[in-house]
Structure 1
Amino acid sequence: MTDTQTAPITLELLGPGPEYKKVSVWLPQLFMETSRAGSLVIENRTFTDCLIEGPAVLLPLEGCHFDGCNMGDAHGDPRNLLLLPMGAQRVTGAIPLKNCKFINCRFLGVGFTGAKAYLDDMVSALGGAPA
């Protein structure tokens, strides 16, 4: 077998924002940058005309707005984008957001989770469950 060396993958930092315009945002990277800066919640950010990329599951905590966004391919049923938490207190592994705005963004490979009321509102906002 031949030993090959490859250069390490380096990503340009997204930075602390608070605004991101017309950029691709890889959610795992944004979460890690935020956690390395001392916070486990992505807060007070505005994303305009961005591609928001997973794989990831977002947990909007409060004050989050999605205006004019394409939430992703739901394969005919908006519930395919949603995950219901099994525990009553926590969701481990999801990326928490607080007071974030997404304006005319497109989501790719992203699911959403939260309280049942939030998930029900998302289903309604996305056109309802198929009959």
Structure 2
Amino acid sequence: MTETQTPPVTLDALGPGPEYRSGSIWLPQLFLETRRAGLSNIEGRTFIDCLIEGPAVLLPLSGCHFDACNMGDAHGDARNLMLSPVGPQRVTGTIPIKDCQFVRCRFLGVGFTGPKTFLDEMIAVLGGNA
């Protein structure tokens, strides 16, 4: 039996921004590029008319705004997009964002986490129950 190997998938770098327009943003790739640049958070970026793709869980730290965005398929309940942290101080495995603007973006396969106040506000804005 011969073993065939497929070459690894190579993706074009998304780059450091600060602005991304009308593109497809794969969050795991953007996070990896950010970490390889020595940064802990995706910070100070603006996304306009982009498709923001997971799988991922975003952790907005501060100064993030979502304007006229489609947050994804909530299957009839906005709370389905939200994940409550269990620990009081940290959330491991998330993609932290800070001072980012999302304008008319569409999210696919993305969940959101953060403090209860953030989650309650997002649920209220999206028309769910807090």
TM-score (norm 1): 0.97
Matches within 5 A, 1:41-120: 41-120=41-120
Give how far 1:22 is off. 0.6
Identity of aligned residues (%): 71
Structure 2 unaligned segments of length 5 or more: list them. Answer: none
Report Cα offsets for 1:18-72 as digits up to 9, x if no partner.
Answer: 0000110000000000000010100000000000000000000000000000000
Distance 2:129 2:62 in 1: 24
CA distance in structure 2 between the aligned counterparts of 1:55 and 1:8, rounded to whole angstroms: 19
| 4+ long deviations beyond 4 Å | none
Letter in 2 for 1:18: P
SS of 2:47 mapped into structure 1: strand
* Aligned partner letter, 2:72: G
Please state how far the C-alpha of 1:8 moved relative to its aligned partner: 1.6
Paired residue type of 2:25: V
In structure 1, stretches of 5+ residues that fail to align are none
Distance 2:2 2:123 in 1: 52
CA distance in 2, matches of 1:121, 1:86: 18
Per the alignment, residue 20 of structure 2 pairs with 20
Deviations 1:84-127 (A, max 9, x none): 00000000001000000000000000000000000000000001
Give the total of aligned pairs: 130
Q: Please tell me the residue identity of whatever aligns with 2:85.
A: P
Aligned-CA RMSD value:
1.0
Which amino acid letter does the alignment assign opposite residue 47 of structure 1?
A: F
CA distance in 2, matches of 1:95, 1:62: 13
In 2, the alpha carbon distance for the partners of 1:21 and 1:80 equals: 28
Q: Distance in 1 between matches of 2:122 and 2:5?
A: 46
State the 1:129 CA deviation.
2.2
Take 2:93 and 2:5, find their aligned partners in 1: how far apart are those partners? 32
